[in-house]
């Protein structure tokens, strides 16, 4: 099924807090431009750009017990992906459907980027109120407007760095006077 693009993208994430809206920010890193860095502790995804800049997106991340960190790559990209919950998720939530075809009512939203060697994805959401929250089973979600933007900027094979949430927050807390 081919679903229509959003006619008015502002309707997709219009209620986001200002800091969760897509914006170019100063961001120092040794990672190459095109790298995706996910800061789960602060619910931001950064797409590294040249010159010490990054495109920053607000995200929803894994809830307690479902956070993870590491280095992956974008293994595959899909527009309006189908969703088949993994067996582990069905075991925890037996009421879930076994399959949802791609489209506006699909929990993966408008786009998905599948992360190598894992069941995790960076994907859209039809629940924009979850952005800025720790709510998922480990996937990274963006409002559909932002996942479409990110999808168009990120290439297959791109490096994805998921920062350890607790350690990052602890380091920042220790540096506050």
| Full set of structural domains in the chain with CATH | 16-174 (2.40.440.10)
The torsion defined by the Cα of 12, 45, 108 and 62, in degrees rounded to 10, comes to -120
- pTM for this predicted structure: 0.85
155 part of the active site: no
pLDDT at residue 6 greater than cutoff 90: no
What share of the chain has pLDDT > 90, as a percent? 79
Tell me whether residue 60 is exposed, middle or buried, using C-beta atoms within 10 angstroms of its C-beta: 0 to 12, 13 to 18, 19 or more. buried
Q: Which of 42, 91, 123, 134 is catalytic?
A: 123
pLDDT in tens, 126-153: 899 999 999 999 999 999 999 999 999 9
139 part of the active site: yes
Q: Which of 42, 91, 134, 139 is catalytic?
A: 139
């Amino acid at each position: 099924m081919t679903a229509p693009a959003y006619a008015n993208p502002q309707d997709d994430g219009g209620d986001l807090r200002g800091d969760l809206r897509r914006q170019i920010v100063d961001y120092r890193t040794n990672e190459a431009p095109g790298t995706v860095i996910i800061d789960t502790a602060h619910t931001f995804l950064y797409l590294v750009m040249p010159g010490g800049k990054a495109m920053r997106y607000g995200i929803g991340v894994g809830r307690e017990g479902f956070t993870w960190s590491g280095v992956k790559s974008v293994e595959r990209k899909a527009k309006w992906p189908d969703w088949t919950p993994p067996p582990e998720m069905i075991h925890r939530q037996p009421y879930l459907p076994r399959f949802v075809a791609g489209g506006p009512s699909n929990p993966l939203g408008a786009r998905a980027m599948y992360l190598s060697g894992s069941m995790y994805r960076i994907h859209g959401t039809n629940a924009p109120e979850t952005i800025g929250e720790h709510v998922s089973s480990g996937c990274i979600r963006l409002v559909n407007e932002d996942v479409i933007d990110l999808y168009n900027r990120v290439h297959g094979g791109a490096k994805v760095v998921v920062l350890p949430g607790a350690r990052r927050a602890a380091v920042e807390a220790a540096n506050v006077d």
